[in-house]
Amino acid sequence: MVSQKVKILNPSGLNLGSATTLSNSVLKYQSAVQFTYEANDVKGVANMKSILNILAAEVNQGQVIEISCTGDDEEEALKSVLDAVNSGIGELV
């Protein structure tokens, strides 16, 4: 398992468009890809291969999430997600 914390930079947080982009970016990997988050004193885990799971987390700009990947291609999956998040997930940052 590999994991890393990252701050959500894009202005709209993890909305429908960014959730779709993130989910599509990890579907090609065999590894399980998820993130943990905390909002309103509630901790949760979201499956990044599920757009609905990502949306349900209600992650906003500036929030820190921890992405974790487990599987044969975990390093590549983590790099893909980090690249997407750090580039603003398709939005200008």
Among 67, 54, 64, 47, smallest CA distance to 18 is for: 54
pLDDT beyond 60 at 93: no
15 burial level (CB within 10 Å; 0-12, 13-18, 19+): middle
What pTM did the predictor assign?
0.90
pLDDT digits (tens, 9 = 90+) for 28-47: 999 999 999 987 788 899 99
| Confidence label for 90 from pLDDT (cuts 50, 70 and 90) | confident
| Confidence label for 92 from pLDDT (cuts 50, 70 and 90) | low
Q: Where are the beta strands (DSSP E) in the chain?
A: 2-7, 32-39, 42-47, 64-70
- Domains of the chain are 2-86 (3.30.1340.10)
What number of CA atoms fall less than 13 Å from residue 63's CA on the CB side?
19
